[in-house]
């Protein structure tokens, strides 16, 4: 237990450490995403691989994230409570990410073997997706609801910062003379390891163990404990997903990123091989766009808190669709560098705003008792949406008559998704706060049912 008069810094007691740690963990998740999604993707396009081949490889990023809901019940059920509810899982996931990256760095010719490369991307993202599950669950556990919009903005903004660094800083070791994918992976593993030091040396709550052999004990309250049995956990998950808003939110997650993920693959292939962009220049252009995404994410946190998550989703999503449709009509000017930059950076800003708004909406719907399972399920469905878009890039390009038609098709589809949000998503009202603890939506719902029963 904590010694009298001794103050231990922790995520629960220090807002600064909470923001620093959560944001740094999102940077860590963004690093491999940016390296693969920008630098490696454009490297493969320059090597002459087809759109379908590149799409199939890049889709391996999203596959573990699309099924990461499988981690949720495990994280909610098991853990080392004496070290915190989520922290041991985060440390373990980051350690495994470092190990896998170093193993891949020993494989010669990795970037010329798409099958092996795809398996490598898959293995890295298995562990980064686990880290994401635990980080999101930690945020739901320790961040007050009134602060979630802004903190989501900072966290998701930092994932864009990580993507920028992964695409430019890590990517530089892929493109530089004498460099290559092996060197880039070693540098990437070093960056992830450095960030891992934060959760290693910062407790979740005062009085917990810092390391397995340190002094301390579990400081979890009764309602914060891991589920005592799989049966109880499944019952709680079923209750959490029994509300109509939980189901419609899941449908929204499935359609949210299909269009953008497909266009991202199609555009890279078109502008590098057809328009004549240098792969390094195009990678820097995309990576620089993450700064606009970061700005959009920060903006999204404030907009979601001010207007509400649903309104923020609809506004950002509609603007994204209209931008795609407008860009599809400007094909005669696609050789103009200023237009490509403007389109890419406007979309990057709107996508940051859109993503944070979705995060906030899904977090508000989630029951805190099973946060790792419910919120992770929404995030997994969004990544399934990205996976689907990556896989559809080749078929969409082959089906429509031109690349502008692909932009038009994606824009119309996305407008349809926004209509669904307006008509079908009915977020619950903000729940009242209990002394020292915010009531979860599931608890509020049960209270409402109880009142109805008493009235009858």
| CA distances to 175, 225, 297, 308 from 356, in Å | 32, 28, 6, 12
Element (H, E) at 163: helix 148-165
Q: Determine the Cα–Cα distance for residues 185 and 228; give it in Å rounded to an integer.
A: 40
Quote the crossing angle between the two packed helices 148-165 and 15-34, to the nearest 10°. 40
Q: How far apart are CA 156 and CA 158, in angstroms?
A: 5
What pLDDT, on the 0 to 100 scale, is given for residue 24?
92
DSSP 117-156: HHHHHHHHHHHHHHHHHHHHHHHHHHS-GGGHHHHHHHHH
| Region 15-210+222-455: CATH code | 1.20.1250.20
Among candidate residues 152, 126, 387, the one with its CA nearest the CA of residue 254: 387
What is the pLDDT, as a whole number, of residue 28?
A: 93
Task: Quote the pLDDT of residue 369.
Answer: 67
Can you give the pLDDT at residue 2? Answer: 42
Output phi, psi for 437, to 5 deg: -160, 135
Q: Is the pTM of this model over 0.75?
A: no
Cα 110 to Cα 182: distance, rounded to the nearest angstrom: 8
Low-confidence ranges of the chain (pLDDT < 50): 1-6, 430-449, 451-456
Per DSSP, the chain holds a count of helices (H) and strands (E) of 18, 2
CB 148 within 8 A of CB 364: yes
pLDDT digits (tens, 9 = 90+) for 32-47: 988 988 888 888 887 7
Tell me the sheet residues that pair with 437.
434
What is the pLDDT, as a whole number, of residue 428?
60
Domain ranges of the chain: 15-210+222-455
406: tokens are 């692909």
Continuous H helices in 257-334: 258-270, 279-307, 309-328
Count CA atoms closer than 13 A to 118's CA, side-chain side.
13
3-class SS of residue 277: coil
Of 451, 395, 398, 2, which Cα lies nearest the Cα of 210?
2
Helix (H, G, I), strand (E, B) or coil at 203: strand
Handedness of CA 268, 273, 275, 279 (dihedral sign): positive
Token code pair at residue 396: 């969409």
List C-alpha distances in Å: 258 to 40, 208, 228, 380, 382.
21, 42, 38, 13, 9
Q: Which residues pair with 209 in a beta bridge?
A: none
């Amino acid at each position: 237990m904590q010694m009298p008069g001794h103050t231990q810094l922790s995520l629960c007691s220090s807002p600064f450490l909470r923001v620093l740690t959560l944001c740094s963990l999102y940077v860590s998740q963004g690093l491999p995403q940016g390296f693969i999604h920008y630098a490696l993707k454009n490297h493969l396009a320059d090597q002459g691989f087809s759109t379908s081949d590149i799409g199939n490889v890049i889709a391996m990023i999203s596959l573990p994230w699309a099924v990461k809901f499988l981690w949720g019940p495990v994280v909610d059920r098991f853990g080392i409570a004496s070290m915190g509810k989520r922290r041991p899982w985060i440390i373990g996931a980051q350690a495994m990410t470092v190990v896998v990256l170093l193993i891949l760095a020993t494989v010669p010719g990795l970037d010329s073997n798409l099958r092996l490369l795809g398996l490598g991307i898959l293995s890295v993202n298995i562990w980064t997706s686990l880290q994401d599950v635990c980080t999101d669950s930690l945020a739901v556990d320790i961040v007050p609801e009134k602060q979630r919009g802004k903190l989501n903005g900072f966290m998701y903004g930092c994932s864009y910062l990580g993507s920028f660094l992964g695409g430019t800083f890590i990517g530089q070791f892929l493109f530089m003379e004498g460099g290559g994918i092996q060197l880039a992976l070693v540098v990437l593993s070093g960056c992830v390891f450095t960030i891992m030091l934060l959760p290693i040396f910062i407790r979740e709550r005062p009085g917990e163990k810092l390391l397995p052999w340190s002094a301390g004990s579990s400081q979890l309250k009764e309602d914060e404990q891991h589920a005592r049995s799989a049966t109880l956990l499944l019952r709680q998950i079923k209750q959490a997903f029994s509300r109509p808003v939980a189901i419609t939110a899941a449908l929204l997650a499935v359609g949210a990123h299909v269009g953008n993920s497909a266009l991202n693959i199609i555009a890279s292939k078109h502008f590098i091989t057809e328009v004549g962009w240098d792969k390094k220049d195009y990678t820097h252009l995309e990576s620089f766009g993450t700064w606009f995404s970061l700005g959009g994410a920060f903006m999204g946190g404030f907009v979601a808190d001010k207007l509400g998550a649903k309104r923020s989703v609809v506004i950002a999503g509609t603007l994204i669709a209209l931008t795609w449709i407008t860009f599809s009509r400007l094909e005669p000017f696609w050789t103009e560098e200023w237009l490509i930059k403007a389109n890419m950076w406007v979309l990057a800003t709107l996508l940051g705003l859109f993503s944070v708004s979705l995060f906030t909406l899904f977090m508000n719907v989630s029951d805190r008792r099973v946060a790792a399972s419910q919120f992770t399920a929404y995030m997994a469905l969004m990544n399934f949406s990205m996976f689907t878009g990556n896989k559809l890039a080749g078929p969409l390009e082959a089906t429509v008559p031109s690349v502008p038609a692909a932009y038009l098709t994606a824009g119309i589809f996305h407008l349809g998704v926004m209509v669904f949000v307006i008509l079908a998503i009915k977020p619950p009202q903000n729940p009242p706060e209990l002394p020292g603890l915010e009531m979860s939506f599931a608890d509020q719902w049960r209270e409402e049912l109880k009142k109805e029963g008493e009235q009858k």
